[in-house]
Structure 1
Amino acid sequence: IYRRFYPKDMKIPTMDITSLSKMQLSIINKILEKPDTTQNEIAKSVGESKQVVNYHLKVLSKAGVVRLRREGRKTRCYVTDEFQKYVRVNNGSTIG
C-alpha cells in the first residue's frame, strides 16, 4: 500500500492545461507577465468586462490555479506556485 502525504494547506491543481478556455489562458498569461496585477487591469488588457474576468478568476481559484488577495477595494491576483511547477513540468515555461 502506497500513501501520499501533502501539506495541510496545499491545493493540488485539478484543472489540466488542456481543459482551460482561451479566456482563462489569457488571464493566466497576464498574471504571469505581471504578478500582483488587479482584476481591473486584467479586464482592460484582455478586453472583457470585470464580471467576466471575475467569473473566470473564481473558477481558476477554486481549481488551485490562481490565488486572490483583497486589498481594500482591489483584488490582487497571483498564479499559485503549485500551478507554476505543474506548467514547467508538463508544458514548458509558457502556456497557451
Structure 2
Amino acid sequence: MIKTFSHKGLRLLWEKDDASKLPSEQIDKLRRILSALNTAKSLEPIRAIPGYRLHALSGRLEGVWSVWVTANYRVLFRFEGGNAYNIDYVDYH
C-alpha cells in the first residue's frame, strides 16, 4: 500500500487524479506503476512485470528500489512491510 510520496506531482496524480505536474506522455505508465505499488504485498508482483525493470539501488540510495518509466526517468521508493514509502519520480541519469 502506498504510504508517502516525495514527489508532489505523483501525490497529486494518485490522490486527486491531477496530472498537471507530470509529462503527459508518461501519465498512463505512472498510473500503472502507482497501482502496482498500492496493491503489492511484496516486491515479487512488481518484479514479475518485465517492462518495470525493478532493481535495488546501492550507495547513498541503498534501501531504495527503482522502476523504469522511460530511458531517463524512474520511480524510486522504499518498500517495507508491504508498504511503499517516499515515492519519487526522478531523472537520475
Say whether the fold is shared (TM-score over 0.5): no
Band of TM-score, shorter chain: 0.3 to 0.5
Flag the structure with higher strand content. Answer: 2
Q: Tell me the TM-score normalized by structure 2.
A: 0.37
Flag the structure with higher helix content. Answer: 1
Larger radius of gyration: 1
Q: Tell me the TM-score normalized by structure 1.
A: 0.36
